[in-house]
Structure 1
Amino acid sequence: MIATPEKLAAANKATVESLLSVSATAMASAERLAALNLNTARALIEDSMSTLKTLSEAKDPQAFINLQTSIAQPGAEKLVAYYRSVYEIATQNQAEITKLMESQLADLNLSLNAALDEASKSAPAGSDVAIAAVKSALAAANSTYDSVSKAARQVVDIAEANVAAATGAAVKAVGTTTAAKPARKSA
């Protein structure tokens, strides 16, 4: 198999384009994460100022305690929403990069098969068995990759369902805890 300068240039160009796509995907995710963090910080400062103002207006200790407990539920919900957003960004980034890599793997398989076909045309007699073995090994590797990839997707789906259930339970637990606190009688 003789690689021509045109083939090498095309392969290099494809590699550079692939790296640029992965870089662009990673950069877009970083931008989304930075925007999320900035918006969350802004909202946290605004909420903190509002909370301090509300707490400073409490007339007695019981009102102060009631205000504190009423603030806990929305805070927990916002925290869970923030982590859910971070998780979404990370999951989308991973899915996009996986899609790019699978595309590159498919292109690589096509190139390898084409190279093997070309090599078999100019190979000496009797090398058909070796080329068939390489093709068979390539097919087995692709099949294994597909099986592992499907299993990994199932694990991710189960993990996402568990994360959703756990965050829902955490928000519910915080709501139950704040609602269940008995009111103290002032002396």
Structure 2
Amino acid sequence: MITTPEKLAATNKAAVESLLGVSAAAVASAERLAALNLNTARALIEDSMSSIKALSEAKDPQAFLAVQQSLVQPGTGKLVAYYRGVYEIATQNQEEITRLLETRFAELNKDLNAALEAAAKSAPAGSDVAIAAVKSALAAANATYDNVTKATRQVVDITEANVTNATTAAVKAVDAVTKQTRKSA
């Protein structure tokens, strides 16, 4: 329970600072994503121009096919690198926001425990049971939060492993198709 205007102001200030931290993390993530997109677009234009030039210099259909096949593997690698970059930005943003929110949750939990202790000291006789029930509910909520956080981290770890495996498999598949196409040509 907030008993003084100073405590209310401090609580409001902490909430605003948390919100500003989350906003700053989101803006930083958007900036990094925009930079990745611009760099990717620039590289795509440059690669397209050099590809068009190489294809236009082909003297016969077989040379044209050979040039075309030679462009597949680097393009796939760049596409995979782009998606990895997007995934890393999203993951880092999620981790930063989670860290900020966990910090704020811990502060709120500490404040609530302090308020309960203060209430217990000034509570009338016989209210021990009610205060113990609130403390028990708070402990259960904290345990549930910890379990959800652990489960979420496990899901994130599994997802990252699956994305890495899928990316590796996709690159290997493209390499195999490219090699097979070269052999048959």
Q: Same fold (TM over 0.5)?
A: yes
Question: What SS does the corresponding residue of 2:125 show, helix, strand or coil?
Answer: coil
| Equivalent-residue separation in structure 2 for 1:2 and 1:43 (angstroms) | 56
2:150 alignment counterpart: 150
Residue 86 (1) aligns with residue 82 (2): no
| Equivalent-residue separation in structure 1 for 2:154 and 2:23 (angstroms) | 27
1:61 alignment counterpart: 61
1:86 aligned partner, one-letter code:
V
Residue 27 (1) aligns with residue 27 (2): yes
**Is the contact made by 2:18 and 2:104 (CA closer than 8 Å) also made in structure 1?**
yes
Residue 113 (1) aligns with residue 113 (2): yes
Identity fraction in percent? 75
Unaligned ranges ≥5, structure 2? none
1:163 alignment counterpart: 163
Give the CA RMSD over aligned residues.
0.8
| Equivalent-residue separation in structure 1 for 2:2 and 2:169 (angstroms) | 62
Question: What SS does the corresponding residue of 1:59 show, helix, strand or coil?
Answer: coil
1:46 alignment counterpart: 46
The one-character-per-residue Cα deviations of 1:72-91 (angstroms, maximum 9, x if unpaired) are: 00100100000000000000
TM-score under structure 1 length normalisation:
0.96
Question: What SS does the corresponding residue of 2:126 show, helix, strand or coil?
Answer: coil
| Equivalent-residue separation in structure 2 for 1:116 and 1:152 (angstroms) | 30
| Equivalent-residue separation in structure 2 for 1:99 and 1:161 (angstroms) | 21
Unaligned ranges ≥5, structure 1? none
2:175 alignment counterpart: 175
| Equivalent-residue separation in structure 2 for 1:53 and 1:109 (angstroms) | 64
2:124 alignment counterpart: 124
Question: What SS does the corresponding residue of 1:39 show, helix, strand or coil?
Answer: helix
Q: How many residues align?
A: 183
Residue 141 (1) aligns with residue 141 (2): yes
| Equivalent-residue separation in structure 2 for 1:2 and 1:123 (angstroms) | 15
Q: CA deviation at 1:2?
A: 5.3
